[in-house]
Amino acid sequence: PELLRHMGGHILHDHRLQGRANPCGFCLNSHCKIYLIQHGQSITVDLQKSTCPNHRQIRLKAAQTFTACQSCTNHPLKCPLCSTFVWKYNLACHIVDTHPTADKTLYESHYALDAKEVIAMKKFYLTPQCSKKSKQIKALAISANHSSRFAFM
């Protein structure tokens, strides 16, 4: 959830990502493919087929609901018009770009954000994050657009 919230803040509020096609919710790279798989009653990220180097197992049911503790609802979902899996924060752009004849307002319930979520994500994005020391966690691969080299441009 922390990784999704961090990347979700960038997707929603980072001006460097505006107009960029389908940034991944795990790494912000536009070329990642995320797949979902159903295991009994639960749907999870297919770790075998997904191509993102930072993919994680997430509880999709929990990720779909905005709460005070869970301020980011960005999660992979199946496009209602095709079989592609798209991140929620990218779905409106996906519909416009991939299905130009479709009326995106018909699918607003799939991608609409509560005003409280937008405010919470903006606050999170604008608040400097303190790094936490942790025990041997696998290093995250960082896309070029998420690199600190842009801080000096």
Tally Cβ neighbours within 10 Å of residue 85: 17
Map out the domains of the chain as residue ranges: 2-152
**pLDDT tens digits for 83-128?**
899 999 999 999 999 999 999 999 999 999 999 999 998 988 888 7
Whether residue 52 contacts residue 29, with contact meaning beta carbons closer than 8 Å, is answered with yes
**pLDDT tens digits for 17-55?**
877 788 999 999 999 999 999 888 888 899 999 999 999
pTM (predicted TM-score) = 0.79
Residues with Cβ within 8 Å of residue 61, at least 6 apart in sequence: 42, 43
Integer angstrom CA distances of residue 12 from 16, 22, 36, 96, 113: 11, 12, 23, 17, 11
| Nearest CA-CA partner of 45 in 57, 63, 33 | 57
